A and B are shown apart, each in its own frame.
Chain A
Amino acid sequence: MDFFDLQPAEWQALILTLKVASVALAFALPIAILVAYLLARFRFPGHGIVNALVHLPLVLPPVVTGYVLLLAFGKKGPIGSFLDNTFGVSFAFNWTGAALAAGVMAFPLMVRPIRLSFEAVDPKLEDAAKSLGARRFTAFLTISLPLALPGILGGAILGFAKAMGEFGATITFVSNIPGETRTLALALYTATQTPSGDIAAFRLTLIAAFVAFAALIASELLARRLRNRIGGADA
């Protein structure tokens, strides 16, 4: 076997990891943008509580988050059984559950930079747009959102990275099922738990490092293009 040829199990873990992280990002990012915008632009009762709730997964041990997800979204959990009965959507021992865990864990890491970049956008710009007849939503879509794009990109990258590497909440919530919930991080853990797993663990480490490196380079290129465009709009 050529050392650089990926084995089926490694491909499986790699593709699953990308799938889980992408789905987590696709669902969590719009919500993160919305929550970040609300936190940045509005003062409302419970502002501090919402802010604290958003950051909880960042502060709690991941196992706790996984356990809470298990109790709430598990087969017998209140939300889990409701979703299962009404929509036939099940998270328990399913890759969708891994995506849910990854999305929840990545959420605070997305909200933070996005909120900061919304706060950096001058509210007067939105006011000006509104004075020219734009509705609030149009002003958000055409002014604030594009100007906050670097922060959104930063949040998305952080979130994606976190989702790819998520371990504690995932293994607690959806266990370690090959092809279903065994992402790279879990496959790596499995390899370290096997008496003869050193080479496998080393290979998976290389794969994980390579993917992370490629993603960082890609995001750097994207960020550079974005900066040029926003800079171009200023000139």
Chain B
Amino acid sequence: MLHILKALVLTILLVVPARADQPLTVFAAASMREAMEEIGTTFAEESGTDVLFSFAGTGTLARQIEAGAPADVFVSADAEWMDYVLERQAVLTGSVREIASNRLVLLAPAGSARLQPGASDLPERLEDERLAIADPETVPAGRYGKAALQALGLWDTVSSQLAPMDNVRVVLAAVARGDVPFGLVYRTDAVVASDALVVYEFPDDGHPRIRYLAAQTANGSHVDADRFLQFLKGPVAQEILHSSGFLTDKEG
């Protein structure tokens, strides 16, 4: 028994110094997963500081940060939740910056035909089935989606046929599995999906501008937090975001 304990202690002692610094902890919106992971790897190579991510719905993350979760950086998929943590002084006011924007699309299982302009045939093709959407009451993507459907005059007909889900990635999976004939997600989610395809792209003037905001948390004491925020706005990270389908400064 003692030998095992000794071995354990030795292993821990050997492993711990290998990571000279504490990793930087970033809480980021689920819709940014792939791009953020790539940015994290690049940042680690450049700075020598590892980045640890926790991905979830923006609302969940905001609540956790308000409750004092050990995050250093918060990346929110909308302005409303960023305001929420700002009001509660859980993030540093001066540190907030917009890092990217996005667009909304309708997805359908592979093999489906495109929708008409204005998605006018959506109600008809939906028949008695459901349109998967991130919850319009709570999730940013759902709120934007509701506005976009309202702008097309479709909200009143489809609002009784929604399947509100936890976040856009759940919507994506439901479409890919064929559980629903249509799902409303970000353009960037469509890039990740292999069993689903874009059948409609929403005009971006139908909903408030989608803003991904990043900020340093109030109790995030990591020395590299600010550096990471600057890195997010820098050319390398912006290029990764751009190639993942996000709208960056390049496109205005």
Interfacial residues, chain A to chain B (CB-CB below 8 A): 70, 74-76, 92-93, 171, 175-178, 190, 192-195, 197
The answer, yes or no, to whether B163 is at the interface (CB within 8 Å) is yes
C-alpha spacing A84/B218, complex, angstroms: 53
A90 CB to nearest B CB, Å = 10
Asked if B179 is an interface residue, CB under 8 A from chain A, the answer is: yes
Q: List, in ascending order, chain B residues with CB within 8 A of A171's CB.
A: 166
A74 to B130, CA, bound (A): 13
Given A175-B165, A195-B59, A190 contacting B138 (CB threshold 8 A): yes
A sample of 19 inter-chain contacts (CB < 8 A) reads A70-B179, A74-B177, A75-B129, A75-B178, A75-B180, A76-B177, A93-B130, A93-B179, A175-B163, A175-B164, A176-B164, A176-B166, A177-B130, A190-B138, A193-B60, A194-B137, A195-B81, A195-B84, A197-B138
Minimum distance in angstroms from A37 CB to a CB of chain B = 37
Query: Is the pair A177, B59 in contact by a Cβ cutoff of 8 Å?
Result: no
| Chain B 5-40 interface 0/1 with A at a Cβ cutoff of 8 Å (1 = within) | 000000000000000000000000000000000000
Bitwise, B168-184 to A at CB < 8 A (1) or not (0) is 00100010011110000
With both beta carbons as reference points, the residue of chain B lying nearest to A92 in the complex is identified as: B179
CB contact between A75 and one of B62, B84, B164, B179 (< 8 Å): that residue: B179
Q: Which residue of A lies closest to B167 (CB)?
A: A193
Residues of B within 8 A of A70 (CB): 177, 179
**Which of B132, B135, B170, B180 interacts with A193 by CB under 8 Å?**
B135
Q: Do A74 and B135 have beta carbons less than 8 Å apart?
A: no
CA–CA, A74 and B163, complex, Å: 13
B contact set with A: CB distance below 8 Å:
57, 59-60, 62-63, 80-81, 83-84, 129-130, 132, 135, 137-139, 162-166, 170, 174, 177-180
Chain B positions within 8 Å of A76 at CB level = 177-179
Instruction: Decide if A192 touches B137 in the complex (CB within 8 Å).
Output: no
A175 to B139, CA, bound (A): 14
The CA-CA distance from A177 to B166 in the complex, in Å, is 11
A177, B164: Cβ atoms closer than 8 Å = yes
Measured CA separation A133–B131 after assembly (Å): 61
Cβ-defined contact, B137 with A190, below 8 A: yes
- How far, in angstroms, from A70 to B162 measured CA to CA in the complex? 17
CA distance A16 to B174 in the complex (A): 24
Closest A residue to B135 by beta carbon equals A176
Chain A: CB-nearest residue to B87:
A195
On chain A, the residues within 8 Å of B62 by CB distance are: 195
Contact B57 A177 (CB under 8 A): no
**A177-B163 contact given A70-B179, A74-B179, A75-B178, CB 8 Å threshold:** yes
CB distance from A158 to the nearest CB of B (A): 28
CB <8 Å contact, A194 and B179: no
Contacts A175-B165, A193-B60, A197-B138 supplied; 7 other A-B pairs, CB < 8 Å: A70-B179, A76-B179, A93-B179, A93-B180, A175-B164, A177-B162, A193-B59
Q: Which 6 A-B residue pairs are closest in the complex by CB-CB distance? A: A193-B138, A193-B59, A195-B84, A76-B178, A175-B163, A93-B163
Residues from chain B with a CB closer than 8 A to the CB of A176 are: 135, 164-166
CA–CA, A211 and B83, complex, Å: 35
Least CB distance, B78 to chain A, in whole angstroms: 10
Note all chain B residues with C-beta closer than 8 A to A192: 59, 63
